[in-house]
Structure 1
């Protein structure tokens, strides 16, 4: 049975209600940073998942609300809650969370700085939440028409993204490892708009239309040609971003070294210089942990 700390629950509820006043939809969390309410369908046979259509609480982020009465009901049903989660991707802020993790051993802050230098963006003044482990959550606002997926380490080692369907642990939450806070001077800032260059890195590429099956006498397309085509479709202003994204995916799938020459050719075709192409691919290899000592793609 969960331990009840009424003082911690009261503080979490107060923080959650304050967040809701700012337009942030919230849910109660346990000390383990998980949704505090168990699914009402945990003993049901496995049909299609319910996202709250049944009207009962216990659907995780799909319970998130800005309605004070609803929030009090959720916390009343979970008196063991000591924190709250903030749902991402919902209006009016369409919140995006940049989670700079320290537990992976990677220097996530340095990786973010390198991305910012390479893609020419700066992180604006915005809410920055501190975690008990020494990490940070950067809050950014996304455009209404963008659906940012959740990811772990895709952008760079140690950088996790919280987008649609995900949530961030709210400041003031108490967990098994400590209390979440805010960097001084940022608590009352609104989530700043996500820089366009960073938004392009966070947005998955459009899915290619499935072509008709190749004739049986034609050999299958070499692995990674979709990534090459993705670079070839780049327009001015997105060439470097597309090349970097494609190279990261190639290295993550174990074909980076094999595909690099074709990615370079594609980058040259769309207007990048040889030096820019090799430098971008080398950066992707480094950020995905595939760089080799003394190895230089240039």
Structure 2
């Protein structure tokens, strides 16, 4: 046996990028953030099961029950998260879905790619509208930008936007996601800014929240049968895994009320939710929250 150098450090196996990403994702899920695997390009790591469908096929947000729907795969269930990462062995990061309970996360993306000083733009906006950004989680991006994590109220849906609030400031809201800290991309690693990792997402200042919320839309209820759209919403709820059930039900109920089908679909949605494991009381409470939200909007 060859002699060993007694001054050499002991061999320590290096974890793979996928293993590290999974560990970070599970840690985020334990704090209530719904997660899913990302590739090194910051895109969902799992291919869509509908990538070969014809263009005329209806859009699926996970109603089929298969993985590969991007942010709609997001979950806080550790078993489901491990299954997603097992199916995506080349994942190097994870996404955190915005707009979901309990945090109703809103991401303020201060970009640097355009050459605009986005931090200065945010400070100017805050001075003009008389609000301050509270101490909150801040994630540094490989390009030198910053992601500010804020928490929104459950009855307000903040949409995604790019540059609408101010130049070089993008907003990640309902249906969007943030790259989680610890994720490795082709440009580098996302990392929490020192001193902010232990903080919960701070409540979004009310004035800023109003700037992020679009004006109410006028809805035209259709008193007819629910049709294919209503059936799709029910199937979406039926496809929920543990950790997604309330989220999917809330999303489907919001879409139902926005389409004027809330009253028509309520019992079908309740029945679907019960079949996924929710109680009748939990299901009706979630649907009632969706009804209040759409009424406010």
Task: Give TM class, smaller chain.
Answer: 0.5 to 0.7
Distance 2:207 2:50 in 1: 41
- Establish whether residue 163 from structure 1 lines up as the match of residue 208 from structure 2: no
Q: Give runs of ≥4 in structure 1 deviating > 4 Å.
A: none
Which digits, 9 at most, give the CA deviation of each residue in 1:168-193, with x for residues without a partner?
00000000000000111101110010
Match of 2:126 in 1: 116
> Which among 166, 178, 202 is matched to residue 188 of structure 2?
178
Match of 1:101 in 2: 111
Task: Please state how far the C-alpha of 1:207 moved relative to its aligned partner.
Answer: 2.6
Pairwise CA RMSD of aligned residues?
Answer: 1.3
Match of 1:14 in 2: 23
Match of 1:200 in 2: 210
Q: Give the TM-score normalised by structure 2.
A: 0.68
Distance 1:209 1:40 in 2: 33
Task: Please state how far the C-alpha of 1:90 moved relative to its aligned partner.
Answer: 0.2
Distance 1:86 1:178 in 2: 18
Task: Please state how far the C-alpha of 1:165 moved relative to its aligned partner.
Answer: 0.3
- Establish whether residue 73 from structure 1 lines up as the match of residue 103 from structure 2: no
What secondary structure does 2:119 align onto?
helix
Task: Please state how far the C-alpha of 1:208 moved relative to its aligned partner.
Answer: 5.2
What secondary structure does 1:62 align onto?
helix
Distance 1:208 1:37 in 2: 37
Which digits, 9 at most, give the CA deviation of each residue in 1:225-246, with x for residues without a partner?
xxxxxxxxxxxxxxxxxxxxxx
Distance 2:15 2:58 in 1: 36
Task: Please state how far the C-alpha of 1:6 moved relative to its aligned partner.
Answer: 6.1
Distance 2:69 2:192 in 1: 28
Distance 1:139 1:78 in 2: 27
Q: Give the TM-score normalised by structure 1.
A: 0.68
Match of 1:221 in 2: none
What secondary structure does 2:170 align onto?
strand
Native 8 Å contact 1:6 1:80 kept in 2: no
Match of 2:93 in 1: 83
Structure 2 unaligned segments of length 5 or more: list them. 1-13, 221-297
Distance 1:123 1:92 in 2: 21
Which digits, 9 at most, give the CA deviation of each residue in 1:231-266, with x for residues without a partner?
xxxxxxxxxxxxxxxxxxxxxxxxxxxxxxxxxxxx
Distance 1:161 1:106 in 2: 16
Native 8 Å contact 1:6 1:79 kept in 2: no
Distance 2:157 2:15 in 1: 37
Task: Please state how far the C-alpha of 1:209 moved relative to its aligned partner.
Answer: 7.3
What secondary structure does 1:13 align onto?
helix
> Which among 136, 144, 148 is matched to residue 138 of structure 1?
148
